[in-house]
Structure 1
């Protein structure tokens, strides 16, 4: 099958055409999480707080498998741009092997250490119990998250984004059915609470693995012989890890950043504050979907053009992606601010939860355009094989600055939780500005070669 060539043609149209299916799919993926949050809120504030705390622990799994798949996607895009099919086959084989091996390792580690992490965050009593049920079950099914991420990398690196979108849509509706069955136990089924949320999620991931595997086989004409020892290469695995580890570390800093945020929220607040923040995060994710869609599109298009040595087109991809993203995010800002209280109230009617979630959203919306700058910039750097910047930016804005600003704003100046929210905005914008400078520097070097 002849796949799309992004080294020529209308760049703006290509960015939008590729980003839209990704964003639609991610919308349903976020709605998947919204459904989980909604039903957890119906259980109790403690269950909602436990789920919210579990996000940072669960995100460590997503960070590792997504980082590897990001590295794989970048190298596959470059190989496709060079028209090197043998390299594509080698990367595909070794990328899948790495994904399985790493997923098994983090599944075992995560299952045993995740309760300890929740305890460190400050969870106790029923909040700790509900969070533990959820996160241990999620880590037990880690291999399916890894496989789906890798299979999507095989497809998206060649510009094929609709199969993953379809899986996410199907997954949303399947989860909509399974969640209430497993959580509340109607029709004589056991009432599993947050454990039921996790089991529903794992079943959906298994369905996705089967679907995406057959799509890869059909659309990319992948033959099973690429998974034999003939294509096994330590060098290819090292190359994927060299690209993927910085991306994983960047995402891990995000997970650790949420960990830090939760720690400071408990320092200045309680379960209601954690729950409000968790609900607001889901709403924020919905608003930021276009950034994530453009992120995937920019990585693929810039990667193919870097492989083909079309450096002017790499620069144009960056500029056009930023322009489109800022327009969309500005519209999102206008919508979120007045509707913040209403949106939080959909998930939980506790006045303390609604108050804190609303206050967070009405401060955090200022950072929406900063996320566009960060996402597009890091995608371009990944596409031109400069992934290490992601680590520096991640450590700066997720670990170093939060500790400084959360203590300064929250404790020293006495702003409390408001100081945490303004600290997040400040670190996001300064990180985005640093990313702008890094991208400008690296693209100027490309044009001079």
Structure 2
């Protein structure tokens, strides 16, 4: 069965799981190499771990732009294929490639000219500033790998091939994990490069993953190929990509802004609090990767069947997504509640970090099911071409409510009670995203009835 028929004909539950499991595995591996970076960097010093935590907010901004553009492109391509407009899909894929290259050039120049300024703004300690600059400049200057890797993976996902998408990401991630200790500590004749070595290992892994993804598209993608022959740039394609992509970029960027602001709130409390928050954020991202894989699998399924006017399959996808995501998140809650100390010890946690972090992880973990529902509702809406729901719900849970509540709770009751701010933010975001996505689904079925009449 080819990818096109699979999206149209395979029963929804096995289709969602068949497409989601490779994405879950690939995203888990991707998140794992971020965690491995931090584990090895933590062995250098807690200062180095703090630097990696501070810089992660800027890395996350870069990822936000790439992922957001790719989500918009994925949604557009899936709808075009569902409407049997393959040539228009290829034109849009070529436009998406140019957008990714243009974006990588912007971050390249930011790495050359702004690394010093960004590091200076992040910290006042000279050693911390130096470490931030070393790690950040390499990731920004050599960023083309992450953009092209993301692009290649989304083209494969748009035609339902999540296995090759997974393989391309795993290739880069495993290479990064292998190179990390070699370059950080100087093994097998390689000079010890410290935190710089972690950054170099990351960009090498991204570039190799990008090459793999592009080769898979060249030889194994049956429908979509980016090409210059007979290509005509269309602003309409750009608008369609960013109609979904821009809200996703803003949504992802909100996470970057949130980490910057939260770090600025925590740094006066203690540097250990900043280091802990960086560790928690990567652990939480690792847990949410299966949720994101499930949501990303839904985008081409929903987009294709919406474009093909098979609205009952869109509704079936909704009914499969939310219970599955809730079960995964509940498992994460149990792990974080039962083993918080063991999770923190992976990062060579000091006694101070354990005292701070163990109760914090337990408090935050209660909100994981609500976060999963919010994320999946956002992906579902994006597959239908609506990126606003995703953006607004992310703003509620990561910025609008979280930051002021955290600041107020810390000032009133101290940092141990500050983490309850997460509960408030997640509850409100969950209610909003579920209500709006369900309303969007009802609108689709109302339109279906009108067409029948």
Cα 1:339/1:262, change in 2 over 3 Å: same
Give 5+ residue unaligned stretches, structure 1.
Answer: none
SS of the equivalent of 1:231 reads coil
> Partner of 2:95 in structure 1?
94
In the aligned structure 2, how far is the partner of 1:366 from the partner of 1:342?
A: 18
Query: How far did residue 245 of structure 1 move?
Result: 1.0
> Partner of 1:365 in structure 2?
365
In the aligned structure 2, how far is the partner of 1:38 from the partner of 1:225?
A: 39
Task: Check whether the contact 1:216–1:222 (CA below 8 A) recurs between aligned residues.
Answer: no
Task: Check whether the contact 2:26–2:170 (CA below 8 A) recurs between aligned residues.
Answer: yes
Within a 5 Å distance, the mapping from 1:209-228 to structure 2 comes to 209-221=210-222, 226-228=227-229
**Is 1:139 aligned to 2:122, yes or no?**
no
> Partner of 2:418 in structure 1?
420
Task: Check whether the contact 1:155–1:161 (CA below 8 A) recurs between aligned residues.
Answer: yes
Within a 5 Å distance, the mapping from 1:26-425 to structure 2 comes to 26-122=27-123, 124-221=125-222, 226-228=227-229, 230-267=231-268, 269-411=269-411, 413=412, 415-425=413-423
Task: Check whether the contact 1:217–1:223 (CA below 8 A) recurs between aligned residues.
Answer: no
In the aligned structure 2, how far is the partner of 1:306 from the partner of 1:256?
A: 33
Task: Check whether the contact 2:91–2:226 (CA below 8 A) recurs between aligned residues.
Answer: no
Match of 2:437 among 428, 439, 442: 439
Cα-to-partner distance string for 1:397-449 (whole Å, 9 max, x where unaligned) = 333223421232111x2x22234322123212211211011111111111111
Task: Check whether the contact 1:348–1:354 (CA below 8 A) recurs between aligned residues.
Answer: no
Cα-to-partner distance string for 1:144-183 (whole Å, 9 max, x where unaligned) = 1111111111011111111221123222332232112211
In the aligned structure 2, how far is the partner of 1:298 from the partner of 1:373?
A: 13
Task: Check whether the contact 1:56–1:256 (CA below 8 A) recurs between aligned residues.
Answer: yes
Cα-to-partner distance string for 1:245-297 (whole Å, 9 max, x where unaligned) = 11111111111111111111113x22211112222222222222220111111
Cα-to-partner distance string for 1:67-109 (whole Å, 9 max, x where unaligned) = 0000000011111111211111111111111111112112212
> Partner of 2:9 in structure 1?
8
Task: Check whether the contact 1:280–1:358 (CA below 8 A) recurs between aligned residues.
Answer: no
How many residues of Structure 1 are paired with residues of Structure 2 in the alignment?
A: 446
Cα 1:400/1:99, change in 2 over 3 Å: same
Cα 1:224/1:390, change in 2 over 3 Å: closer
TM-score, length-normalised on structure 2?
Answer: 0.93
Q: Which is worse superposed, 170-179 or 42-51?
A: 170-179
Q: Which is worse superposed, 176-185 or 144-153?
A: 176-185
Cα-to-partner distance string for 1:40-69 (whole Å, 9 max, x where unaligned) = 000000000000111111101000111000
**Is 1:21 aligned to 2:18, yes or no?**
no
SS of the equivalent of 2:267 reads helix
In the aligned structure 1, how far is the partner of 2:194 from the partner of 2:55?
A: 14
Cα 1:322/1:96, change in 2 over 3 Å: same
TM-score, length-normalised on structure 1?
Answer: 0.94
SS of the equivalent of 1:386 reads coil
Cα 1:199/1:398, change in 2 over 3 Å: same
Task: Check whether the contact 2:75–2:299 (CA below 8 A) recurs between aligned residues.
Answer: yes
In the aligned structure 2, how far is the partner of 1:10 from the partner of 1:224?
A: 28
In the aligned structure 2, how far is the partner of 1:225 from the partner of 1:181?
A: 37
Displaced runs of 4 or more, over 3 A:
110-123, 186-189, 221-225
In the aligned structure 2, how far is the partner of 1:433 from the partner of 1:146?
A: 33
Cα 1:101/1:25, change in 2 over 3 Å: same
CA RMSD of aligned residues (A): 1.9
Query: How far did residue 120 of structure 1 move?
Result: 3.3
